[in-house]
Amino acid sequence: MPQRPSYAAPAVEAALSILETLGTVHSLGVTELAKKLGLGKLFAVGSPAADRFGLREAAHPVMERLAAETGETVNLGVLDGARVVNLHKVESRHLLRMHMEVGGGVPAHATALGKVLLAALEPSGLGQRLGGQRLTRLTRRTIGDRATLRRVLARIRQQGFAIDDEECSLGLRCVAAPILDHRGAVVAALSISGPTQRLSHAALMGMAEHTRAAALEVSRRLGYPLGSLRRGGEA
């Protein structure tokens, strides 16, 4: 059986992978994105390599297909410190949909995208991201203590996806899965989001496999080796 790639990437490894895979993000532009991610000149140096492995370009057709199949909004995000930044999205066809501004950031621990990305960090990297600050509660369902968060992140690493059950915004549910680069480092995440009226718990769990399969397809487009995928789409 092919060897399972490491889910948790070292902080430096992940940072270099982001530089290689972000690519030309038309929604923001390289300069603006660099400011959003706090990468400055380092991002400018890395962007030529990133052009060869454009994350947005690799993800967009997969996101369009996933949005068409599920009827819900599909988001692409990366970590910026302790926050998750939305790089790109494909809107739901429904009139009733939830909006997360491209380029906007929210506390990572309160979102499915963010929790998937936090779960990929080494323990020391997680501690550095969260620092000594308290976990902000955006709703009554938001995880509010580190012990609970660490247990949730351990479960996410095991199952390969994360859910947001009204933790970021009341009335909104999401499911997210990790995107890996050619070295097996988690560099981004893909999510499906929608209102609770349409996304029941059962529907959300049913979409988890769709999300994982789509995230693995983006990973393949970024050079993640097909031989590393297990049957059922497990990375």
What is the tens place of the pLDDT at every residue in 8-37? Answer: 444 445 545 555 555 444 444 444 555 545
Residues of the chain with pLDDT under 50: 1-12, 15, 23-31, 36, 39-40, 42-53, 97, 230-235
- This prediction's pTM: 0.73
Q: Which of 87, 159, 171 is nearest to 116 (CA)?
A: 159
Measuring CA to CA, which residue among 40, 36, 45 is closest to residue 77? 36
Sign of CA dihedral 204, 212, 8, 107: negative
Report the CATH architecture of 11-228. Answer: 2-Layer Sandwich (3.30)
Check: CB of residue 64 under 8 Å from CB of residue 33.
no
